[in-house]
Amino acid sequence: MAERVLVFDTTLRDGEQSPGASMNIEEKLRIARQLERLRVDVIEAGFPIASVGDFESVREVAQQVRECCIAGLARARFADIDRAWEALSGAENPRIHTFIATSPIHRQHKLGMTQDQVVEAAVAAVRRAVRYTSNVEWSAEDAGRTELDFLCRIVTAVIDAGAKTVNIPDTVGYTMPEEFGARIAYLVQHVDNIHKAVISVHCHNDLGLAVANSLAAVANGARQVECTINGLGERAGNASLEEVVMALRTRRDYLPFQNLETRVETTEIIRTSRLVSTITGFPVQPNKAIVGANAFAHESGIHQDGVLKEVTTYEIMTPESVGLATNRMVLGKHSGRHAFKERLRELGYELEDEQLDRAFRRFKGLADMKQELLDADIQALVDDEVIREDDYYHLGRLHVASGTQDTPVAAVTIHVGDGKILHATGSGVGPIDAVFQAIHKLIPEAGAARLNLYQVSAVTGGMDAQAVVTVRLEQGGRLVQGQGADNDVIVASARAFINALNKLVRRENTPRKGV
C-alpha cells in the first residue's frame, strides 16, 4: 500500500501575502473550487482575524468547498483562535492552524519571550483550538533557525496538547536541503510522541531551495507539504505545488519516494496555474518548471530530432500529465452556443446564462477576426469576462488616434454601476497614456493611484494573438493588480486599468495585516 503525502495549499493565505496579489472573495472562491478539482488535501483559505474580508472569504470557502479540508490561520492568541473557528465552523472538515515563532532571533526581537513562555503560549493555543476541533495544526515559525533541542521540546509539548499536525517551516528560506532533511530526521528520532502527529513542512524560496528543501523533508519522514500554485507567496514565494507534486510522481523510482503518492489530479495543474496567474496578475515566467510556456517546448534541432524519434529522449513527463494536451484548435466562427458551452464545461467553467451570453458574444467577435481559436484564447476571453463581473466601472466605447506626427488622443466612455454613462477625452505621450489620462478624468479613485507596473503578454503565438495586459496600481501603500484581455492591445490596456481601479474602490480590499 502506498503512503500518502498530504498536499496543503496556501495560495489563498501565504500566496496572497505577495505584494499586489490580494484577491476578493469571489476570486478566492474561484481558486478554491479549482483547488478542489485539483484534489489538494488541505486549502488554507486565509487568516480570519486579519480583516473582515479575510474572515468572510474563509467562511465562504468553508461553506462551499466540501471535498477538501479547510484551514484557517491563527496566532497563538485566544482571540485569533476563536475567530478562526467562527469562520471555519461551517466546513465539512475544518482545521485550525495556529503558530508561534520559536527561533532565538524571533523570540528575542519579535516576541520578547523566553523559551518557557513560548512553550506555554503554544500549548495554551493548541488546547484552546482542540476545544473546537480535533483537527489542529501547530507551526513553529522560523523552525529552520530554531535550536534542535528546543524544537524537540516544543513539538513534544504541542503534540501532548492535542496537535495532530506539526509544521516545521523554513520561514526565511535559509536552510540547505541536506540540513533541512536532517532536521526532520532528528525530530523523527528524538520526539517520543511524533508518531501521534503528521510532520508537515512549509518552505520559503529566498535562496531558490523551497522545493528541494520540501522534498528533502519528505525523504526524511515529512508527510505533508505546504505549497502554493506557481510558487506564489511572501517575498520570493513558497514551494511550488506543481513542482513538488510532479517531482514525487515522476521520481517514484527514487528510493525515498518509492512508496509515496499524493491524491492530486495532475491534469488540472495547468488550468489551476493559469487561473491563479489571471486572478492575481502575476505572470508565470516562460521557463518555469511544469507550468511555464516553454516547459514542454523543444527548440534545438537535436532535441526536436530526438523527441520525434523517441519522446522520452528529452521528456521526463508528458504534457498531458499536467493537462497541457488540450491546446488544440477547438472552435471557429461557425460554432454555436451549445458547442461553446460544452467546450467551456470541459475547460472547467460553469457559467450562468447571462455570463455565457456575454462570453459567447465576445467569442463570436473574436472568431470573426482570428482564424484559429485555441483553448487558451477561450480561457483568456472567459477569464476576462468573469474577472470584471463585480466591477462598478466598465469600459464602453474607446477611440484612439496616434501616429508618428500627432499627439496621441483618446476618447473613452465608461458605464457606471449606478446606470450613468461618462465620457472624456485625454492626450498623452503615447496612445495608452492618452487612454489612461482620459480614464483618470472619469474615475475619481484614479486620482491618487500610481501606475507601478504595466505588462503585456500574448495569449498564443501568431500576428493575430490576443493580448493580456496586467497593470499594478499603488495608492496610499496599497497595491492592486488589474487585468484585461482583447485582440486590441489598447482595449486590453484600458480594461486592465479600469479593472485595477475597481479593486481600489472595493471595500473588502482594505489594508490587511500579514503574518
- Residue 349: DSSP 8-state: -
| Cβ 275 vs Cβ 299: under 8 Å | no
In the block, cell 507550468 appears at 291
Q: Cβ 74 to ligand KIV, closest distance in Å?
A: 10
Helix (H/G/I), strand (E/B), else coil: 85: helix
Given the complex with ligand KIV, which of 14 and 36 has the nearer CB atom? 14
Question: What whole-number distance in Å separates Cα of residue 164 and Cα of residue 220?
Answer: 19
Given the complex with ligand KIV, which of 81 and 435 has the nearer CB atom? 81
| Cβ count near 114 (within 10 Å) | 11
Given the complex with ligand KIV, which of 128 and 202 has the nearer CB atom? 202
Name the one range near Zn ion by CB under 5 A: 8-16, 421-429, 450-458, 502-510: 8-16
In the block, cell 508528458 appears at 318
Helix (H/G/I), strand (E/B), else coil: 307: helix
Question: What whole-number distance in Å separates Cα of residue 499 and Cα of residue 509?
Answer: 13
Given the complex with ligand KIV, which of 67 and 206 has the nearer CB atom? 206
Given the complex with ligand KIV, which of 27 and 141 has the nearer CB atom? 141
Q: Cβ 198 to Zn ion, closest distance in Å?
A: 18
Given the complex with Zn ion, which of 174 and 257 has the nearer CB atom? 174
Nearest to 165 by CA among 372, 5, 13: 5
Q: Which residue is nearest to Zn ion (CB)?
A: 14
| Cβ 258 vs Cβ 233: under 8 Å | no
Given the complex with ligand KIV, which of 44 and 242 has the nearer CB atom? 44
| Cβ count near 427 (within 10 Å) | 16
Query: Which partner, ligand KIV, Zn ion, none, binds residue 141 by CB below 5 to 8 Å per kind?
Result: ligand KIV
Query: Which partner, Zn ion, ligand KIV, none, binds residue 99 by CB below 5 to 8 Å per kind?
Result: ligand KIV
Query: Which partner, ligand KIV, Zn ion, none, binds residue 139 by CB below 5 to 8 Å per kind?
Result: ligand KIV
Site string for Zn ion, 146-175 (x = CB under 5 A): ------------------------------
What b/e readout covers 65-82, taking b as 16+ CB neighbours within 10 angstroms? beebbbbbbbbbbeebbb
- Residue 409: DSSP 8-state: E
Given the complex with ligand KIV, which of 174 and 363 has the nearer CB atom? 174
Q: Cβ 145 to ligand KIV, closest distance in Å?
A: 11
Site string for Zn ion, 313-352 (x = CB under 5 A): ----------------------------------------
Name the one range near Zn ion by CB under 5 A: 7-15, 30-38, 363-371, 396-404: 7-15
User: For residue 140, what are the β-bridge partners?
Assistant: 100
In the block, cell 480535533 appears at 134
Given the complex with Zn ion, which of 235 and 337 has the nearer CB atom? 235
Q: Cβ 75 to ligand KIV, closest distance in Å?
A: 9
Site residues (CB under 6 A) for ligand KIV? Answer: 14, 99, 139, 141, 167, 169, 171, 202, 204, 515
Question: Is there binding between residue 137 and Zn ion (CB under 5 A)?
Answer: no
- Residue 461: DSSP 8-state: S
Question: Is there binding between residue 16 and Zn ion (CB under 5 A)?
Answer: no
Name the one range near Zn ion by CB under 5 A: 13-21, 67-75, 215-223, 484-492: 13-21
Distance set, CA 374 to CA 124, 277, 381 (Å)? 55, 18, 11
Query: Which partner, Zn ion, ligand KIV, none, binds residue 230 by CB below 5 to 8 Å per kind?
Result: none
Query: Which partner, Zn ion, ligand KIV, none, binds residue 458 by CB below 5 to 8 Å per kind?
Result: none
Query: Which partner, Zn ion, ligand KIV, none, binds residue 95 by CB below 5 to 8 Å per kind?
Result: none
Q: Please tell me the number of Cα atoms within 13 Å of 31 on its side-chain side.
A: 32
Distance set, CA 227 to CA 151, 202, 283 (Å)? 22, 7, 18
Cell of 115: 523559551
Query: Which partner, Zn ion, ligand KIV, none, binds residue 502 by CB below 5 to 8 Å per kind?
Result: none
Question: What whole-number distance in Å separates Cα of residue 297 and Cα of residue 307?
Answer: 11
Q: Cβ 337 to ligand KIV, closest distance in Å?
A: 45
Q: Please tell me the number of Cα atoms within 13 Å of 193 on its side-chain side.
A: 16
Given the complex with Zn ion, which of 214 and 266 has the nearer CB atom? 214
| Cβ 122 vs Cβ 81: under 8 Å | no
Question: Is there binding between residue 14 and Zn ion (CB under 5 A)?
Answer: yes
Question: What whole-number distance in Å separates Cα of residue 21 and Cα of residue 225?
Answer: 22
Could you list the residues that contact Zn ion (CB under 5 A)?
14
